[in-house]
Amino acid sequence: MTTTPALDPQALLRGRDILPTLQRMAVAQVLLLQPAHMTAEQVLEAARRLMPELSRATVYAVLKLFVGQGLLKELPIDGHATVYDSNVQPHHHLYDVDTGHVVDLPAASLQVLGLPQAVGALEMAGVDVIVRVRGLSAAG
Amino acid sequence: MTTTPALDPQALLRGRDILPTLQRMAVAQVLLLQPAHMTAEQVLEAARRLMPELSRATVYAVLKLFVGQGLLKELPIDGHATVYDSNVQPHHHLYDVDTGHVVDLPAASLQVLGLPQAVGALEMAGVDVIVRVRGLSAAG
DNA sequence: TTCCATGCAAAGGGTTTGCACTCTC
DNA sequence: GAGAGTGCAAACCCTTTGCATGGAA
């Protein structure tokens, strides 16, 4: 692990050459300071508690910016709404098919064998393992 | 493999207690008689070559019915449009992040180690491995 | 002062729904 | 004839875009 938890949203954003506006810091506060899985709507709702005037369009813009700067990852989990994951380290996911809750699975907890043969000469851009389960009660 | 390729759409549908209407047989013809990965829009376009009056709403209804009856699987690959896979055997996917093309990866070509420990006492509903690559030129 | 960020509202794509018509059993 | 299946259009949800305002360098 090379993660140095950035406890200061402003420093976190400056470190990625992102102008730390109030809106961006509100989103960072909600999503980047701890591991979290949230949809855009959930981010908007949570960030508006810190900044009620925050607009939906801005949240989408900020999320897209954060993804581009490597602060967030979009999860390919569910067809309806994009889920943003603030854990950008390689890892996998447990997904509750009934509730939609997601929890991280450390990269080391699963091992995928056979990848080199499977991708052959293609350029590999990443591997996602999604384990669908039932009964994941706690919030993810 | 226990697959007995059903070459007759009508028998295929009756086998699942699905009333074989002309619309459902057109969709089956296009998607179920061979392994394929298609979005609803692609299914509509292809099926309309067999039946020009087919409506979009009916295609969505039929796809949902087929998924419920285990004839199709929805792939959790991309946020925009749902991709339907007529291969319902356990297997994984190679996904071209540039073109959107998908190809099957036989279940045997990859091995995921550590699942029992990862899911613990939860009920496992399935495992999806999506390998993102670039340069997958052929249609998937 | 120039450029970037924000907010609002409208537009856009994918999917679902309401309702009348048609067909199957 | 009763109930299921279909088609059309409108509605819906998530996301993006256009444009005018406001703030940062």
pLDDT tens column, A108-134 = 999 999 999 999 999 998 899 999 999
Q: What DSSP designation does B108 have?
A: G
Sequence ranges of the domains in chain B: 5-75, 89-139
Q: What is the pLDDT of residue A140?
A: 45
Q: What is the arithmetic mean of pLDDT over B44-69?
A: 97
A139 falls in which pLDDT band (50, 70, 90)?
very low
Asked whether the beta carbons of A67 and A16 are under 8 A apart, the reply is: no
A62 touches strand C (CB under 7 A): yes
Whole-angstrom distance, CA of residue B59 vs CA of residue A89: 40
User: Strand C: which positions are within 7 A of a protein CB?
Assistant: 4-10, 13-18, 24-25
Asked if CATH classification 3.30.1490 holds for the domain at A89-139, the reply, yes or no, is: yes
CA of A58 to C1' of D14 (A): 15
Q: For the segment B55-65, what is each residue's pLDDT rounded down to a tens digit?
A: 999 999 999 99
End-to-end alpha carbon distance in chain A: 22
User: Residue with CA nearest D15 C1'?
Assistant: A60
A19 touches strand C (CB under 7 A): yes
Q: For the segment A5-62, what is each residue's pLDDT rounded down to a tens digit?
A: 557 889 999 999 999 999 999 999 999 999 999 999 999 999 999 999 999 999 999 9
Q: What is the pLDDT of residue A1?
A: 52
CA of B90 to C1' of C22 (A): 39
What the block records as the tokens of B22 is: 């002309």
> Percent helix, strand and coil across chain B, each rounded to 5?
35, 25, 40
The larger pLDDT score, comparing residue B8 to residue B137, is at B8
Whole-angstrom distance, CA of residue A11 vs CA of residue A120: 41
The top-level CATH class assigned to B5-75 is mainly alpha
Instruction: Choose, out of A127, A134, A137, the residue to mutate when testing the contact with B (most B CBs < 10 Å).
Output: A127
